[in-house]
Structure 1
């Protein structure tokens, strides 16, 4: 089945969100609409829609003019079996002791590694993205240096690959949360597939806003692989929920954004222990002052 995309940008969040709502009402109706802040510090918001029928380009032009957006770029995508495509293109990833793979690559798992099974259909969060790989390498270094936390949380867990990694090494209960209920379901399914369903507790929450997360605090280690804005907002709450001497591993940070995140966490009482770049992404390992 062919698919069309229509994409535009705006520099005003309320107008971008309003345009997203307006897109949902046009004919033919899009199968999905998204409004996202672009991660390049441009201040722009991207508004996109997917269609299974060719979109009405006149209607799109009227909407873009009405909301002061750039003209929509409309593209027809080729018919693709995306899961098969991802399986062909994504190879297993080694990050320290961890080996992230799909079931089709199970035979390649080295005997000395800690295997993390994340299927190709869950492409973001498999370890191929620089942020996830950076977090896995960072926690591997902590474990190698003898830091074995007793209480761990994965905030904005996505596929829960980080929570699963910690559960497999530490063999203790890990809290995992995400604001998206579908991500929570995926996280729970991945925990089952990796044999740690009894160790990874998945809850729906923004930040630490869930009674189970509060009950298990303070944490010796917290992962937060999200974005700069939410990370900065989370800094005071992170200080309240992390034990003195505890660590946080942060990513989802573009390299030019790292100084701002470091500054926010320094104000909250955290010191930088490691700062690593993979491509355009930075991973920070911070420690709360003792």
Structure 2
């Protein structure tokens, strides 16, 4: 399956563009960030300085699986903004959207984990090594959303109760389920709509000798409930899945969400609050957010 990535770069019309997108119902967009800049050569500071002077307008990035909807949006925006708006369109594999920002990956080092390619020779020291097969799929550790989620799990999932169940929705490489295993979860499950991603996840299970059920599809049956659910996917799909995720979360359980930028967090929090879920913790990694929400007791 492919997702369409639409990058909108305004030239003096940003406020009007945002207002028009809201009128058309496009509130799930990602604002441009510093992720693609090299902090070592001073690019990041130059970017920040230009933004603070008002000399730079951030691009907005929209994702959708529906080509007809995107074509209609492009037509509408071209008619209104003309040359004031640069529009870039491309198709990317749903399973590799995270690599659009950081194509290179060596290792992710956190407080407790060392997540690397399975052929990496670095010494993890006292950290738990998680070996991953290289592959352009979700969760290899190279993107800020995965990094933020792992660090969030270290904080809020460090002491799961005996027998606690963990569900990883959109598991990709299976890395979050592997992290959950080493944090102490006894019962793991992963889902993904992409057979190729599930194949990679199975190979990573083998590399780390941590087996757990993998299901092709978005979610397990509704009668399956979990103490903790993690979901690191695109905002439009994430928002759509929230009611079903809440249904599968035990009262008092943790819902861990990532895959969105700071610009997108408030609509997600409002949708979660309407379902009786409250923010407990957040981690911000270069403008990308991982949220821990608790489901209030029934």
TM-score class, shorter-chain normalisation, is 0.5 to 0.7
Is 1:255 the counterpart of 2:262? The answer is yes
Q: 1:44–1:172: structure 2 CA closer, same or farther, 3 Å change rule?
A: closer
Contact 1:168 1:196 (8 Å CA) reproduced: no
Alpha-carbon distance between aligned partners in 1 of 2:151 and 2:180, rounded to the nearest angstrom: 12
Is 1:281 the counterpart of 2:288? The answer is yes
Aligned match for 1:91, one of 85, 92, 106 = 106
Higher mean alpha-carbon deviation, 118-127 vs 134-143, is at 118-127
Residue-by-residue CA offset, 1:97-148 (whole Å, 9 max, x unaligned): 11101133244222x212111133346412121111111111111233x344
| TM-score between both structures, scaled by the size of structure 2 | 0.65
Q: 1:282–1:170: structure 2 CA closer, same or farther, 3 Å change rule?
A: same
Aligned match for 1:180, one of 194, 209, 213 = 194
Alpha-carbon distance between aligned partners in 1 of 2:194 and 2:5, rounded to the nearest angstrom: 25
Is 1:127 the counterpart of 2:127? The answer is no
Is 1:201 the counterpart of 2:201? The answer is no
Alpha-carbon distance between aligned partners in 2 of 1:263 and 1:163, rounded to the nearest angstrom: 27
Contact 2:227 2:249 (8 Å CA) reproduced: yes
Contact 2:233 2:258 (8 Å CA) reproduced: yes
Shift of 1:228: 1.2
1:223-242 alignment to 2 at 5 Å? Answer: 223-242=230-249
Contact 2:177 2:188 (8 Å CA) reproduced: yes
The match for 1:271 is: 278
Does the residue aligned with 2:206 lie in a helix, a strand or coil?
helix
1:75-154 alignment to 2 at 5 Å? Answer: 89-110=104-125, 112-122=126-136, 124-144=138-158, 146-148=159-161, 150-154=164-168
Does the residue aligned with 1:109 lie in a helix, a strand or coil?
coil
- Would you say how many aligned residue pairs link Structure 1 and Structure 2? 220
Greater length-normalized contact order (CA 8 Å, ≥ 6 residues apart)? 2
Does the residue aligned with 1:234 lie in a helix, a strand or coil?
helix
Structure 1 alignment gaps of length 5 or more:
1-6, 12-36, 48-63, 75-85
Shift of 1:236: 1.3
Does the residue aligned with 1:185 lie in a helix, a strand or coil?
helix
Alpha-carbon distance between aligned partners in 2 of 1:147 and 1:163, rounded to the nearest angstrom: 13
1:1-40 alignment to 2 at 5 Å? Answer: 39-40=30-31
Alpha-carbon distance between aligned partners in 1 of 2:89 and 2:184, rounded to the nearest angstrom: 48
Shift of 1:245: 0.5
Contact 1:98 1:116 (8 Å CA) reproduced: yes
